[in-house]
Amino acid sequence: MRLNLILALSLFACLTFSLAKDQRRLLARGRRRGVGPKRARKQTSTIALQQGRSPESNGQDGSIFIESYKNTKEPKPNYEVTAGKTEHCVFRGITMYDKTVWSPKPCVNCLCSSGEVVCDQILCPALRCQLKFQRIGECCPICIDPVVNVAEYSGDSPLPNDLDEHNTRISQSQKDIQKKNEEERIRKKDAERKQRKKQKKDEAKRQRKLKEAKDAREKEEEQRRLREEEEERVAAEERKRRTEEHRKAEEDRARRLEMEQKEMMRALEEAAERAQEGLRGDEATEDEDVVWLRGDVFQMPPVPPTRAAGPPLLALQEPTEPGEEEPEVIEEESEMVTTLLPPGCSISDVTVTCENAKLTGIPPLSIPELKSLSLQGNEIKTIPAGAFNGIPNLEWIDFGKNKILSSGIDPQAFKGLKFLSRLYMDGNLLEQIPSELPSTLQELKMNENNLKEIEENSFEGLSSLVTLEMEGNLLSEGNVHPQAFKPLKELTYLRLSRNHFRTIPQGLPASLLELYLENNLIEEISETAFNHTTNINVVVLRHNKLDESSIAPLAWINHRNLESIDLSHNKFYLVPSFLPKSLVHLVLAGNQIERIPGYVFAHMEPGLEYLYLSYNKLDGDAVEPESFFGTFNTMTELCLDHNQLTSIPMGINEMTTLHFLRLNNNKIRHISEDAICDPLNDDDSHLVALRLENNFLDPRKIPPTAFSCVRSYSSVVLKPQKIK
């Protein structure tokens, strides 16, 4: 009996030792594969079921504690209870002993407890590693970080004695990983901060460079502007100096001529006295010539001129035909005795006038002192070479209203005139510009001719020309060479009215100050029309075919000297925009203007002073509150007469410098107290003249203070008014 008991205990010990060894081997294998305590628990339960015996009970209350579950913290299980017999459990037809643990499916463990089956869903523990991997057929993922390499353990290698030590190493490894990750994150933040700092520095550097470049451009622009202003100032001073020199030269010349004239008069008086003495000494002398002196007729023998007696004032023209009256010699108030002149000619000082004398040729005068010669209104057709040999000091010639042809002018006709400054050839038959004109010429007029062409070299050598007039010809942009005006370095005044231009002529000289192009066919003003004429001051374009859309925005808006523009009698329906900033005087009378856009004058500096909008179609809606913005402190004269206004336009009462206001011939029916004069303005009266006649006003209904800003009530014209 005792032997049997010993054998039974030995067998039980062997079984227990074998079971513990298998459990350790499975746990080691699970750790090699990355399986946690729950996996070992599952495998232990499976072995117990396969051996058909319950696991060993080593708890105090009879509950089962599997070795692999020690020191493992799991979430609170969510139990599923299956009813069974007392102390035994039936699961899917299989009877389980009490306290038996098994795994019916992956990730589920079941326990037989007092006849009830309790199943627990295995929950995976939270992993703190970065690299995870879940094997096929297993519930939970495992860490595969290189810090903890579980694969190094083999089945025969010794395992750690305690799971806490292993967990501590894993926790330490995770902390190292977290520390490295934190250091890496800090390094990345530092790198990003350095990158942002570098970008900010680069941006600041770029902004600084841009600002320096902008400042350099502004400085260069300012220097250029100052340089241009200095050049303009120097040019103005040079023009002033030249004008002063010219004036002084004229005064010197006038004094010199006066002295020469006195000498000539004295010599002539002496000659006359000698002639009278000779007449008294020889009464038998035959009658030869008749000389008129202040209406008295007396006989005087011819006295040949001598150098001692001074140079002759005039030479004889041509011998008179038989039967013709002998030419007169008239003594002026200065008692200057003259010699013979052609019929219809007269002399005054140093000027010979032969207007409407029916001359067919230039008289062969021989007067070196002669300065001016007027041959206007004759029938002269040709100007031969040597025509002015006897009068080489001529400064002014007027050939107006003759019949001179271009082919009738000899190329050498004007060659000997070294002092000629003015040449008038209006009203002839010229088709081309005369060639070989003197370089001293300052004024050339060829109005009312048949000019059909201006070639590139037509004005060659005329670098001193200041005034050029060619009105009433057949010129157009098609027959005027673009480089024709290039030699005219001093040209300031150009008239091309009454021709056939459709655009502004090209190649206008940079020195031009005034341009007159009225009565042409101009339809547009291009952006480059006034590019070279930056000093231009006056442009007259009335009686053309312009409208508000035909003027390019940059045609003249940036001109700093353009002060006067005449656009009257065109086809404008609006006051044109993009007018020059420097504009002072604007004429838009005789158009179809229906509206004054807001701020159309706001960009002008210092501001518009004279605005003429008479004879248009302005009505009650034509003026906006901002229409006259920019002119309140500069407007001096405003003409809105002969329109269709029904009330006083807004903004007039804000014009503090307005002197003349014309609102006559409109449809104005009433005047409010502050329409013309601002009652809050305590300054002195500024309006000098106000015209309101030919409207629909009742003078009795006009407020007493409506004209408080007018200097004198007698300056207000109210009568007559139209009948209502």
Examine the domain organization and report whether 261 and 299 are in the same domain.
Answer: yes
Of the chain, the percentage scoring pLDDT greater than 70 comes to 74
The predicted-structure confidence for 299-355, as pLDDT tens digits, reads as follows 333 333 333 333 333 333 333 343 444 444 333 333 333 446 788 898 888 899 999
Predicted confidence band of residue 704 (pLDDT cuts 50, 70, 90): confident
pLDDT at 14: 74
pLDDT at 212: 87
Beta sheet of 116-121, edge-to-edge order:
80-82, 116-121, 108-113, 101-105
Q: Is residue 269 part of a domain?
A: yes
Q: Is residue 205 part of a domain?
A: yes
pLDDT at 600: 95
The predicted-structure confidence for 474-484, as pLDDT tens digits, reads as follows 999 999 999 99
Domain count, the chain: 2
The predicted-structure confidence for 393-448, as pLDDT tens digits, reads as follows 999 999 999 999 999 999 999 988 999 999 999 999 999 999 999 999 999 999 99
Residue 41 has pLDDT above 60, yes or no: no
pLDDT at 325: 40
Predicted confidence band of residue 579 (pLDDT cuts 50, 70, 90): very high
Q: Which residues of 41-80 are buried (b: 16+ CB within 10 A; e: fewer)?
A: bbbbbeebbeeeebbeeeeeeeebebbbeeeeeeeeeeee
Among 55-69, 634-648, 675-689, the minimum mean pLDDT is found in 55-69
pLDDT at 419: 94
Examine the domain organization and report whether 92 and 224 are in the same domain.
Answer: no
The predicted-structure confidence for 241-293, as pLDDT tens digits, reads as follows 878 877 777 787 777 777 766 666 666 666 666 656 655 544 443 343 333 33
Domain span at residue 106? 19-159
Please tell me which residue, 627 or 131, carries the higher pLDDT value.
627
Examine the domain organization and report whether 270 and 205 are in the same domain.
Answer: yes
Please tell me which residue, 518 or 217, carries the higher pLDDT value.
518
Tokens 């389980």 belong to 96
Q: Is residue 141 part of a domain?
A: yes
Residue 503: closest CA among 467, 530, 473: 530
> Rg of the Cα trace of the chain?
60
Residue 556 has pLDDT above 90, yes or no: yes
pLDDT at 52: 41
Q: What is the pTM of this model?
A: 0.56
Could you give the CA distance from residue 710 to residue 724 in angstroms, rounded to a whole number? 27
Examine the domain organization and report whether 201 and 248 are in the same domain.
Answer: yes
Examine the domain organization and report whether 199 and 277 are in the same domain.
Answer: yes
Of the chain, the percentage scoring pLDDT greater than 90 comes to 44
Examine the domain organization and report whether 154 and 172 are in the same domain.
Answer: no
CA atoms lying within 13 Å on the CB side of residue 488:
28
pLDDT at 555: 93
Q: Is residue 101 part of a domain?
A: yes
pLDDT at 551: 94
The predicted-structure confidence for 76-129, as pLDDT tens digits, reads as follows 445 455 554 457 888 877 888 888 888 787 778 888 888 888 887 777 777 777
Examine the domain organization and report whether 119 and 192 are in the same domain.
Answer: no
Predicted confidence band of residue 230 (pLDDT cuts 50, 70, 90): confident
Examine the domain organization and report whether 109 and 177 are in the same domain.
Answer: no
Average pLDDT over residues 143-162: 48
Examine the domain organization and report whether 150 and 175 are in the same domain.
Answer: no
Predicted confidence band of residue 56 (pLDDT cuts 50, 70, 90): very low
Q: Last residue of some domain: 123, 142, 159?
A: 159
Average pLDDT over residues 487-511: 95
Average pLDDT over residues 32-54: 42
Examine the domain organization and report whether 147 and 259 are in the same domain.
Answer: no
Q: Is residue 96 part of a domain?
A: yes
Examine the domain organization and report whether 110 and 203 are in the same domain.
Answer: no
pLDDT at 166: 59
Please state, rounded to an integer, the average pLDDT across all residues of the chain.
79
Examine the domain organization and report whether 34 and 72 are in the same domain.
Answer: yes
Q: Last residue of some domain: 275, 310, 345?
A: 310
Q: Is residue 214 part of a domain?
A: yes
pLDDT at 371: 93
Among 314-328, 576-590, 689-703, the minimum mean pLDDT is found in 314-328
Q: Is residue 376 part of a domain?
A: no
Could you give the CA distance from residue 702 to residue 719 in angstroms, rounded to a whole number? 13
Residue 673 has pLDDT above 70, yes or no: yes
606-610 long-range contacts (CB < 8 A, ≥24 apart) are 606/634, 607/631, 607/633, 607/634, 607/635, 608/583, 608/584, 608/634, 608/635, 609/584, 609/585, 609/634, 609/635, 609/636, 609/637, 610/584, 610/585, 610/586, 610/636, 610/637
Among 31-35, 269-273, 503-507, 520-524, the minimum mean pLDDT is found in 31-35
Q: Last residue of some domain: 310, 338, 357?
A: 310
Q: Is residue 60 part of a domain?
A: yes
